[in-house]
Amino acid sequence: MKKTIAVYAFLFVIALFVSPWIGPEKVSIEDVKTYIQGEGSPQGDIFFFQRIPRVLLALLAGGTLALVGAAFQVLFRNPLVEPFTLGISGGASLGAFLTILYPSLWIVRGPFSSVQFFALAGAAVVLFLIYTFSTRTRGMPVHTLLLAGVTVSIICSGAILLLTYLAKPQALVVFQRWMMGGIDIIGYREIASLWPLFVPGAGLIFYHANDLNHLTLGREMALGHGVDVDTVRRNVFIGGGFATAAVVALVGPIGFVGLIIPHAVRRISGFDLRVVLPASFFLGGTVLAACDTLARTLIAPTELPVGIITAVFGGPLFIRLLVSRKLR
């Protein structure tokens, strides 16, 4: 088990050390050495304040989306579930759009901005609504929770369409660019703002890894093994929701990473969640970092939104996965 996780971690580290050197502006080892020695250079600024922060954010964002996707697919016992299926992304997008639509709401405090606050607030409202709907009956039925998430997602999409119709053209340009997903950051402020939600959210998921293993056998079997099913579902759902909201607030709604990566890990390394969860995090981060590297070099000097890359490659890959399963 440890060896398997180590392989995925090794790929993660390779992406961390290789991706910053790739881009439209060539950066050499000598440029980096010169910058470290105190002699400023444009290439050194690009490497340390654009490339490295961008790769770090891609690794953390992709890892978070894949981790949450792996946990949610077990939680809902549905292979098509990912954070965006449940309306969490829709709520975060709606909150972020309000900030973009009304510049008077724009506030920056330390590493945090009002876009992140409103995105988090939108996701929190969605989480509250879904959880309230699902607990009106005894326990937390999986199908009720899933249907509630899809319904709230549709409502958020409708609200975004209404605001889009009423918005000014300049606000629409900014929002549409944000909706495509992107990791074009400068400096480390955004990364610092990710940790307060990422750490507790991911920690809750990892803490319940073995409980999720029991849940794969069904609710009754999990209860028979002493698992508090409702508590596990609530904690994983809330932890995954807030971790996703933190990512979406920074990079926008990037799709397919949370859907495809867990399937790939399970096909390669089995179904033990103690392996699948960390492996999904490492592989998801590696894949998104690779997609972002491709996005900034494919048609350089113009840069593609990374959400386009994940959609273009992720859609056909998932169809291929579905077809191969059908044939077997």
Instruction: For residues 253 and 84, give the distance between their C-alpha atoms in angstroms, rounded to a whole number.
Output: 8
**What is the tens place of the pLDDT at every residue in 294-317?**
998 988 788 888 988 998 888 888
Q: Is 79 exposed, middle or buried (0-12, 13-18, 19+ CB in 10 A)?
A: middle
Residue 227 has which token pair? 């698992």
**What is the tens place of the pLDDT at every residue in 72-89?**
999 888 887 887 777 888
Reduced to 3 states (helix: H, G, I; strand: E, B; else coil), residue 107 is coil
In the predicted structure, residue 322 carries a pLDDT above the cut 50: yes
Nearest C-alpha neighbor of 89 from the set 305, 245, 262? 245
Give the CA dihedral 163, 175, 66, 231, nearest 10 degrees: -40
Lowest mean pLDDT among 125-139, 161-175, 232-246: 125-139
Q: What is the pLDDT of residue 141?
A: 62
Reduced to 3 states (helix: H, G, I; strand: E, B; else coil), residue 195 is helix
At 117, the pLDDT band (50, 70, 90 cuts) reads confident
Residue 151 has which token pair? 């319904």
In the predicted structure, residue 328 carries a pLDDT above the cut 50: no
Chain CA centroid to CA 250, Å:
10
Query: Is residue 127 a contact partner of residue 92, using CB atoms and an 8 Å limit?
Result: no
Reduced to 3 states (helix: H, G, I; strand: E, B; else coil), residue 108 is strand
User: φ, ψ for residue 113 (rounded to 5)?
Assistant: -130, 165
Helix (H) or strand (E) holding 258: helix 257-269
Q: What is the pLDDT of residue 121?
A: 87
Query: Is residue 69 a contact partner of residue 82, using CB atoms and an 8 Å limit?
Result: yes
In the predicted structure, residue 116 carries a pLDDT above the cut 50: yes
Instruction: For residues 230 and 270, give the distance between their C-alpha atoms in angstroms, rounded to a whole number.
Output: 26
Q: Which amino acid is at 283?
A: L
What single DSSP character describes residue 49? I
Q: What is the pLDDT of residue 68?
A: 94
- The whole-model pTM stands at 0.92
The alpha helices in 167-225, defined as continuous H runs, are 169-179, 189-207, 209-215, 219-224
Give the CA dihedral 259, 266, 75, 60, nearest 10 degrees: -60
**What is the tens place of the pLDDT at every residue in 18-76?**
999 998 888 888 888 888 887 778 888 889 999 999 999 999 999 999 999 999 999 88
Residue 155 has which token pair? 């409502």
Q: What is the pLDDT of residue 137?
A: 53
Upper half-sphere CA count for residue 168 (Cβ side, 13 Å): 7
Domains and CATH numbers, the chain: 2-327 (1.10.3470.10)
Query: Is residue 121 a contact partner of residue 95, using CB atoms and an 8 Å limit?
Result: yes
Chain CA centroid to CA 66, Å:
7
